[in-house]
Structure 1
Amino acid sequence: MAQEARKAKVNALSVELKLLRRGLGIQTKNLSDVVGEGLREVCDVHNDDSPGTMRGKVVETLRRLIEKLPESHRETARIVLGFGTGANERYTQRLELLSMGADRNVRTMQRRADDVIYLIAEAAYGAPSPFGGAAATSGLGPWHTSALAVRLTLSDGGAEVFETRRVVSHVAGLVEVEHAVSFARPASTGQLDLSDVGIDVVAGGEVHSVRLVSSSRVAFSLRPPQPLDAGDEHEFFFRIRVDAMRAPFYCCTPEFPCESFDLNVRFDRRKPPSRVWRIDGDLSKDADDPLLARKPLFLDNAGEVRSGFRDLRPARSYGIGWQPNSDAAASAGIGHTH
């Protein structure tokens, strides 16, 4: 029932956003006349807000929601809603602009516009809103991650991960945080060997109940020193060691919303990758696809590369992928869920 209710909200918000995109979009003079009840709730618009305050909340919320989309959809979403376009360019003119840029007909761009509108509505009910309101509490579990920082070091075919995670409790008496790490499935045995994985808490509590929950997924629990009340923040610092890694990427694929994720990868300088790219909001099944168009990243003089992400959407993948040199063995591959 909760899933059906969420889908109904997404569909209703999609309808409102399609009304908003008409004419001049977010540049419409009387914006309050076209902002529906669902969008007001998502943007935490109050009845006593001035027109300027309401416009600011709507514009900023939509900007942040667009940033949650995969890179390939963001520019379409901006133009569809009227961000950065001419002051008098109406919706049909913006569609024509999109169709010329993509070498597609207007009907095709209309379908794409409908798709990105739905993705924006979906994002609105999958991550915290900057102003609170419905999106700040909708879809959240017993906790969420306010900040995640990962340092990954690759060497001799294995990897060492140092993860600092700050969580925020949504319930009273939170005694443990469930966590999981997915690895590329071994080609030989078809199942991960737990003896190849080491998980240790360095600070902030203890780890327990390490278990294999699928052929490639290891789950475990993080226990803080004392139960957390609703609104309490707590930081864990732990290490994961893997003897043999099998796919060239590292991703965070959150189960619950994650406000920020900063990733630093240090490559073996004797075997630098031939290409490195940013994975930003992809479907988990596409995270290791080297053919998708993505933003390139470049190693510094220490053989490191880093990237940051904000307002991660649940069930989407964020991280760094790379192509090993042809003379190098297969490197690390971890997909996080939390």
Structure 2
Amino acid sequence: MAQESAEAKINALSTELKLLRKGLGVQAKNLPGNVGEALREVCGVHDDDAPGTVRAKVVATLVSLIEKLPAPQRETARIVLGFGTGANERYTARLELLGSGADRNVRTMQRRADDVLYLIAETAYQSPAEFGGAPPDSRDPWHTKTLAVRLTLTGAAAEVFETRRIVSHVAGLEEIEHGVSLARPASTTAPPDLSRLGIDVVAGGEVHSVRLASSTRVAFRLRPPRPLDAGDQHEFFFRIRLDELPVPFYCCTPEFPCDSFDLNVRFDRTEPPQRIWRIDGDLSKDAGDPVPPRKPLFLDSAGEVRTEFHGLQPARSYGVGWQPAG
């Protein structure tokens, strides 16, 4: 019975996705009013959500579900649902894009489109608690699609290069609140010195309003070149320079959901750490604790370690810890 119930849910969602793909797909003006019950459940849509919020939740969920598909099916799914196609390109025109070479039989293309929508529905119910990373709270203004960090350690100093791609959930998103937690070194009780903290945007906007949000957290705002609409994606690339890395670990502890996090740490070759471990979903207060058993990581020939995380949950910590030399 449980299997039949799951199959019924998948079929119901697949049917609703077939209705959604008609016309302009996700670019249709009437999308918020045409979201069926199954899709509303998967996307976390509430009865009192504004149309812009409904659109944002549906777009964010579908984007995340498509990313979970096998690589050959992702581009097909984007075309079928209307992502990245022309503003006035209707379903029949998009369907022709699925043809390749002599394989332009309408039935074949239609079957290919139906199959990929079934895969999306199936993926949505593989992990009911996540539903493809849709924001569980309609008040979330954005979420992180991809985060890539390159941390370079030279003696006590550290340099962080971060590339972050965010997806807006609201119309007119003008600023992204961001922050860095800098735990105090054991040798001092003083808060971080902002005058010695270097934060520079290399591409994607500008940094402003750098301030202390607490005794161990520095907050700042990232402003994109133009306001973002619901479903828009934008990428920031910025650098943070520290005279001293306060603690022997680096983590991402997201405030809003994060689809994926790629972390690369390059250690000082003259003082490699004694051991390195992966921090995966720990409570923030436990992230720096070296005692709990964790998966070990090992330096490559360049003195680096790299690890990836997917489906990061808010208020949990993900990253790398190490025991310094000596």
TM-score, normalised via structure 2 length: 0.63
Cα drift, residue 189 of structure 1:
3.8
Change (3 A) 1:275 1:173: same
Give how far 1:222 is off: 0.3
Within a 5 Å distance, the mapping from 1:198-217 to structure 2 comes to 198-217=198-217
- Pairing 1:19-98 to 2, within 5 Å after superposition: 29-32=3-6, 43=42, 56-57=122-123, 60-62=126-128
Question: What per-residue deviation string (whole Å, max 9, x for no partner) do you get for residues 86-141 of structure 1?
Answer: xxxxxxxxxxxxxxxxxxxxxxxxxxxxxxxxxxxxxx3xx5x22xxxx7242251
Aligned to 2:313: 313
- Give the distance between the partners of 1:145 and 1:222, measured in 2 at CA: 13
Aligned twin of 2:134: 136
- Tell me if structure 2 keeps the 8 A contact 1:171–1:230: yes
The within-5 A match list for 1:100-249 is 124=129, 129-130=131-132, 136-139=134-137, 141-186=140-185, 187-249=187-249
Identical amino acids, percent of aligned pairs: 63
| 3-state SS of paired residue (2:134) | helix
Letter paired with 2:136: S
Which residue is equivalent to 2:258? Answer: 258
* 1:176–1:274 CA distance, 2 compared to 1 (3 A): same
Q: Structure 2: which amino acid aligns with 1:60? A: Q
**Which letter maps to 2:141?**
P
CA gap of 1:222–1:39, structure 2 versus 1, over 3 A, is same
Runs (5+) with no aligned partner, structure 1: 1-26, 45-51, 63-123, 327-338
Question: 2:4 & 2:297 partners in 1: Cα distance?
Answer: 42
Give the match for residue 295 of structure 2: 295
Instruction: Name the counterpart of 2:285.
Output: 285
Shift of 1:292: 0.8
- Specify whether residues 143 and 188 from structure 1 end up closer, same or farther in structure 2 by C-alpha distance, changes over 3 A only: same
* CA deviation vs aligned residue, 1:188-234 (integer Å, no higher than 9, x gap): 24311112210000001000000112111100000001111111111
Preserved CA contact (<8 Å) 1:32 1:54: no
Could you list the runs of 5+ residues in structure 2 that have no partner in the other structure? 10-36, 44-117
Retained in 2: the 8 A contact 1:177–1:221? yes
Contact kept, 8 Å, 2:143 with 2:168, in 1: the verdict is: yes
Judge conservation of contact 2:135–2:257 (CA < 8 Å) in 1. Answer: no
User: d(CA) in 1 for partners of 2:221 and 2:125?
Assistant: 39
Amino acid aligned to 2:195:
S
Shift of 1:34: 11
Measured in 2, the distance between the counterparts of 1:235 and 1:200 equals 15
Paired residues, what number?
224
Partner of 2:58: none
Answering whether residue 274 of structure 2 is matched by residue 274 of structure 1, we say: yes
